[in-house]
Amino acid sequence: MPVPVKSSTGVAPTPAAGINAQGSPQYLAQRTLAARPSEVRKVFRAAQRPGMISFANGAPYLGALPFERIALDAQRILLEGGERSLQYGSSDGIPELRAHISELMKLEGISAGPDQVIVTSGSQQALDVAARVLVNPGDVIFAEAPSYAGGMAVFTSYEAEIVHVPMDANGLIPEELERLIGEVRAAGKTAKGLYTIPNFQNPGGVNLSEERRLQVGQLCRSNDLLIFEDNPYGLLGFDGETMRAIQPEFEDITLYFGSFSKMIAPGLRVGWVLPPASLYGNLVNASETSQLNPSVFSQQLISAYLDDPAWQDKLSEYRRIYHEKFTVLVESLEKVMPEGTTWNRPTGGFYLWVKLPEGIDTEALVYECIERGVVYVPGTAFYTDGNGHGELRMSFCLPSLDDIRKGAAILGEVFGAAVAGATSN
């Protein structure tokens, strides 16, 4: 009979549900066995510790929201029609919010009626529904190198293979995408689509240039690839300017994903997808099976927020706040990071992508930094091919200016010591 193994607390661990005492995956589905734990989630759990300075969370700063106005809207919504607000609703979203989304997308050149929009419980759920409907086990999804960990987790959960496409300062490189499509086809694999974040990319912070948007779209169309265009940051450029989406020129092959999590508040969990007309019914049906309907109350609250044109002034205020935080972060890093460290210069969004001198492993150092009171996300979290050990993502939107300076100083000490140690060896 096996001897129980004790944990560091002296208590024998309890087997997880679905795992017997010997660790056998008794009840788990095959796709669950193939899934790997999220390193990002491990880091995020550390980020919740009291007093921790977090560059990890891709979370907006909510301190400037007009909470009194939102509270009054919530009160009015419930008092005037609470029976509707707290009831089941339409599986594709309430009409008033879908109309707002239709107007919002016009800022990026998208012409779509409210009846073409599907509202979801955040854009993450929309992406999950799309993958469930469209991706078969073994299909290849191309994604930028690096790419959003949550997006890759969705596709791999449906047993897709991620093939990373190199980027430069102008975003995904079309010639590399064309080359990789050829390699995938030559290997006898099914190339299903491209997952891209063209605006202030997570985690790289770069924009896909206008010229490349057309090139990438044409490549996808000529090779029968879908485009999964994920755009939570498009209206968060520091200068307030927006770029034309990929969708308008390639609406027959593009699924466009949007979210209110970065513009307003993630806690309301409201996003949307604009699919090609041919896929609309399939996505609505799949969305209904996973959630029945998105929260009516959350949709009404966001719709009321957008009814007041002042939401655009508030968005401009947030752009100024984020620009200041970004500037302070870069100025701080310039003073403390070891020689040879480089980073991008995003013009909006939430993220700074940092590359350390050769031989420094950000995944190995993250827990030392956590012990010192600061957390980031190692670059390995944004690849599925083992790359990213010398890179990290820093989100500058949530910490205060003082915490940004303090956190940068700690990172400079830890990374500087690692570089010095590597040099001496």
Give the tens place of pLDDT for each residue, 122-147: 999 999 999 999 999 999 999 999 99
SS3 65: coil
Pairing outcome for strands 171-172 and 254-259: unpaired
Tokens of 62: 């909510």
Percent of the chain with pLDDT over 70: 92
Pairing outcome for strands 374-375 and 171-172: unpaired
Q: Is the pTM of this model over 0.85?
A: yes
- Tally: H helices and E strands in the chain: 13, 14
Q: Are 304 and 290 in contact (CB under 8 A)?
A: no
Give the tens place of pLDDT for each residue, 289-328: 989 999 999 999 999 999 999 999 999 999 999 999 999 9
Most distant pair of Cα atoms in the chain: their distance: 71
- DSSP H or E run through 69: helix 67-85
Using the predicted structure, report yes or no on whether residue 422 has a pLDDT greater than 80. no
SS3 198: coil
Give the tens place of pLDDT for each residue, 230-256: 999 999 999 999 999 999 999 999 999
Give the tens place of pLDDT for each residue, 255-295: 999 999 999 999 999 999 999 999 999 999 999 998 999 99
Tokens of 2: 């096996």
Using the predicted structure, report yes or no on whether residue 379 has a pLDDT greater than 90. yes
Rounded CA separation 227/255 (Å): 6
Give the tens place of pLDDT for each residue, 20-70: 434 456 788 877 776 666 666 677 777 777 889 999 989 999 999 999 999
Tell me, what's the pLDDT at 3?
Answer: 35
What mean pLDDT is reported for the chain?
91
Rounded CA separation 380/382 (Å): 5
Mean pLDDT of the 168-193 span: 98
Tokens of 272: 């949307």
Distance of CA 186 to the CA centre of its chain: 31
